[in-house]
Amino acid sequence: MSKPGKRFRSTAETIERDKLYGVEDAVKLIKGAAKTKFDETVEIAMNLGVDPRHADQMVRGVCALPNGSGRKLRVAVFCKDDKAEEAKKAGADLVGAEDLVAEVQKGVIEFDRCIATPDMMPLVGRLGKVLGPRGLMPNPKVGTVTNDLGPAIKAAKGGAVEFRVEKAGLIHAGVGKASFTEDALVANIRAFADAVMKAKPSGAKGTYVKRIAVTSTMGPGIKIEPGSLGAG
């Protein structure tokens, strides 16, 4: 296991490991620590008091970040006929039906988000083993199975972030770039935390949000006081 670099150690020394920071203070520390030559991604991790092995404790949803994610996302749409023209006009990067399914089955996945019209789902369902593990399978619960393609494509390309709880109750997602202003990052973090709170499942008992931390790609994790995000 490699040792942390000098820059990481220098930054880590300015952060109290066991302290819970307010979201505004945490963002200031993140921006101060992001000194690499590339624009680092800012990520949030939330540890929830749920067991996703139980259906009534699954947490899943989508969050439209108010200031976007900072990523340029390629969007594929499974549709045909008039809907194919609609998808192209809305800015989809890839549009297809049987032909696109065949490409994905070959392992050619040149997109970051995937949308499908309801009539295409029997066909797209064959791709579950390929798209599912990558978190790309269209799902009506997060708005990626729809006939209203324009808004769905706009949301996907504009910074809509899907989330799904993993083992041990962990959710994580990118919520912006270090180059964003402090206000923009705070707004994105608040929006994401609020979306996770609203997705609280019926089976959740006790404390729902146990821990929250934010970090940049090359920076140390900074713990956030859940109350500063209205979470708990």
Q: How confident is the model at residue 35 (pLDDT cuts 50, 70, 90)?
A: confident
pLDDT higher than 90, residue 147 = yes
Per residue in 101-113, pLDDT (tens digit) is 999 999 999 999 9
Per residue in 57-77, pLDDT (tens digit) is 999 888 989 998 888 889 999
Per residue in 214-231, pLDDT (tens digit) is 999 888 899 999 988 877
- Give the number of other Cβ atoms within 10 Å of residue 107's Cβ: 7
pLDDT higher than 90, residue 161 = no
Number of folded domains in the chain? 2
Residues 117 and 84 in one domain: yes
pLDDT of residue 1: 44
Question: What is the CATH number for 28?
Answer: 3.30.190.20
Residue that finishes a domain, picked among 158, 181, 213: 158
User: What is d(CA 85, CA 108) in angstroms, rounded to the nearest whole number?
Assistant: 23
User: Does a structural domain hold residue 50?
Assistant: yes
pLDDT higher than 80, residue 6 = no
Q: Side chain identity at 151, as an amino acid letter?
A: P
Residues 173 and 147 in one domain: no
The range of the structural domain enclosing residue 122 comes to 75-158
pLDDT of residue 201: 93
Distance of CA 175 to the CA centre of its chain: 7
Question: What is the CATH number for 111?
Answer: 3.40.50.790
pLDDT higher than 70, residue 10 = no
Strands (E), 41-120: 41-48, 60-64, 75-78, 94-96, 113-116
Residues 105 and 148 in one domain: yes
